[in-house]
Amino acid sequence: MMNMTELELAQMIDHTLLKPYATEEQLKQICDECKTYHFKMAAINSGVTAFIHEQLKGSGVHTGAAISFPLGTNTIEAKLYETKDAIQNGADEIDYVLNIAKLKQKDYDYIEQEMRQMTELCHSSNILIKVIFENCYLEKEEIKAAAEIALKVRPDFIKTSTGFGTSGATAEDVRLMKSVVKDAVQVKAAGGIKDLQTAEEMILAGATRIGTSHGVELIQQLRERNS
């Protein structure tokens, strides 16, 4: 059990709605929840970045666009274009899926080139960037290899999962990622985090951001515990 305030927890949560059938009404509800609970970011698909940015304007909540989501198979050029478009439409943060096949083929030069170009693009616009590994498809050595590349390139975060794979975040994977990047890069845990206990396990393992569509429930559970 951790000793956290509601605001401290909320500022670690990327409140998420990435379903392909999300309507503007549902997206607006997510934004309203972000503003009510003071979540750090609304995590959405890049095509609705402008809409979300407009909803969140002046609230202090970041607009977070998912790039090459959820498969990561686009070319570097396509990922860069989608990122530029999202930034032009008001994204404050970018979460992109790395090329999983290239990583499994041990094409580490490609992974580094992709990560470096994406990071340089975001940082040149003062935008935070998170690299999604999708750990459920990776061996531990592959997770470690991707984290070692991140240690060289220095994106802002490395992230466990999209939430669309065969499984989500585990505390074991968070600890592994953190053991490589130390304090040079932050770790975001996402995928399958549905309750406060699981979120706290990820934070204790080293995660400083939590991606979840259950942000409201997490805050309510903390409120009940602290009451």
Which whole number is the average pLDDT over 207-227? Answer: 97
Please list the residues that pair with 209 across neighbouring strands. 188
Dihedral of the alpha carbons of 132, 171, 189, 182, in degrees to the nearest 10: -70
**Domains of the chain, earliest start first:** 6-226 (3.20.20.70)
The pLDDT tens digits of the residues spanning 168-184 come to: 999 999 999 999 999 99
Judge whether 187 and 207 are in contact, CB under 8 Å.
Answer: yes
Which whole number is the average pLDDT over 13-26? Answer: 98
* Known catalytic membership, residue 159: yes
CA 179 from chain centre, in angstroms, equals: 19
Give φ, ψ of 210 to 5 degrees.
Answer: -125, 120
pLDDT at 1 over 80: no
Residue percentage of the chain with pLDDT more than 70: 100
> 61: which DSSP letter?
P
The pLDDT tens digits of the residues spanning 78-87 come to: 999 999 999 9
The pLDDT tens digits of the residues spanning 92-135 come to: 999 999 999 999 999 999 999 999 999 999 999 999 999 999 99
Q: Which of 14, 92, 95, 173 is catalytic?
A: 95
Residue percentage of the chain with pLDDT more than 90: 98
Q: Which of 40, 79, 130, 159 is catalytic?
A: 159
Report CA-CA distances (Å) from 118 to 67, 79, 190, 214. Answer: 10, 8, 20, 29
Which whole number is the average pLDDT over 193-211? Answer: 98
pLDDT at 150 over 90: yes
Mean pLDDT, the chain, rounded, equals 97
* pLDDT recorded at residue 2: 82
Please list the residues that pair with 16 across neighbouring strands. 43
Pairing mode of beta strands 209-212, 186-190 = parallel
Judge whether 165 and 70 are in contact, CB under 8 Å.
Answer: yes
Alpha helices per DSSP H over 38-170: 49-56, 76-88, 100-104, 108-124, 140-153
Specify the pTM: 0.97
